[in-house]
Structure 1
């Protein structure tokens, strides 16, 4: 069921389906809650699944020109408070993983388990920060081409051919993101701190799901991160968009994680 609440004078859009253990799904950059359209029904057979549109994405409006991780987390907290959820599992894809880490850092006792899906607790390196600055300048005059190029580059050539229809549908959703939402989220990601301590210092269930061919996040760094933070690592065969490229395996991994 699609719902919304008011947060700082804007609407936060979310869906809430199923009954049982609460699972909060947080999408990534240039995505929205529709990215979970095959994951949420699978999980909601035995659980209550909440999918939330982040600030500046989907049906949720922007709040200024920088969406910090703290601000993203505050918006999520407002939804969870409205739903009176005290404890829950949380799964975050890419940017959604950064937000999930921030939420867990602010509310560790509320977390039953945290899954980073194609995401990391590491901060951006200097090269990535510079790329974000450059992208935020370019996007103001060339939004559609930049989004198309960056989105397609998330997939290997093999995946582009194998999942052409799914990629086109996801790209259509990405192009609905307002320019302000793009810039505000990109800046928030650029400024985010290292969050290794959230994984290393908490006893809730922890999982990193990494793509072996991820063009955005180094698989080798994910292996190192899992070791350093004492977090379980599960590996999928493809890239950054596991909900498209490895859907069935991902469904099985998430069902096992929330048991």
Structure 2
């Protein structure tokens, strides 16, 4: 059941199920807490699972027109403070990984482990920054078509027919993101800083989940990042949406990581 708190005059929606080691699951861009629906039942058997709708996504409201990774992290920190949780594991998908890194940057001693799922500690390339700028110019006039195209581009082309129904569900959830939330998150991602040092300098458990056919993140670059930052990594056979394309192995991987 979704609950909420007020953070800087905005509603932040979250869920809190199970007992045991706290695990914070952070969704990606154009997603919300529902992305974890197939993962949470298994993990919550032995752990306390907290999911949070990021600002401008799902049932959470926006704050202004730039949602920095630091601001996203503050909103999650506010939920954890409300729940009186002092140490926890972080699992972040895509944008959620950037937010997890920002949270770890602020409170490294509270982190028991950090898993970047189809994500990176690198900053945006200039090409990616330009794409985000163009998307924000287009989105006000063609929000629905742009969102649907963005969702389809997250899956490996071979899986578009295989996961047709799941992709339609992802599009439905993505369209719950407000235009303001879309633009504010894009601006935040575009301006985020490199956080290789979080992986390099901290002693908590670290893991990167890499999709071999990820259309968003370069496979070889992800492996090089893991090696450069002395971070453990696992390779999944499919694309960017591991919670859909590789559900069973993802559950096993997170369980083993915890």
* Shorter-chain TM-score range: over 0.9
Deviation at 1:131, TM superposition (A): 0.4
What's the counterpart of residue 128 of structure 2? Answer: 128
What's the counterpart of residue 224 of structure 1? Answer: 224
Instruction: Determine whether 1:162 maps to 2:167.
Output: no
Alignment gaps of 5+ in structure 1 = none
SS in 2 for 1:140: coil
Determine if contact 2:151/2:170 at 8 Å carries over to the other structure.
no
SS in 2 for 1:114: strand
CA displacement 1:27-79 (0-9 Å, x = unmatched)? 00000000000111110000000000000000000000000111101101000
Alignment gaps of 5+ in structure 2 = none
SS in 1 for 2:141: helix
Distance 1:97 1:42 in 2: 21
| TM-score normalised according to structure 2 size | 0.99
What's the counterpart of residue 11 of structure 1? Answer: 11
What's the counterpart of residue 36 of structure 1? Answer: 36
Deviation at 1:153, TM superposition (A): 1.2
Deviation at 1:233, TM superposition (A): 0.5
Matches for 1:1-259 after TM superposition, within 5 Å: 1-258=1-258
Distance 1:34 1:150 in 2: 18
CA displacement 1:68-91 (0-9 Å, x = unmatched)? 111101101000000111110000
Distance 1:156 1:123 in 2: 23
Distance 1:61 1:21 in 2: 28
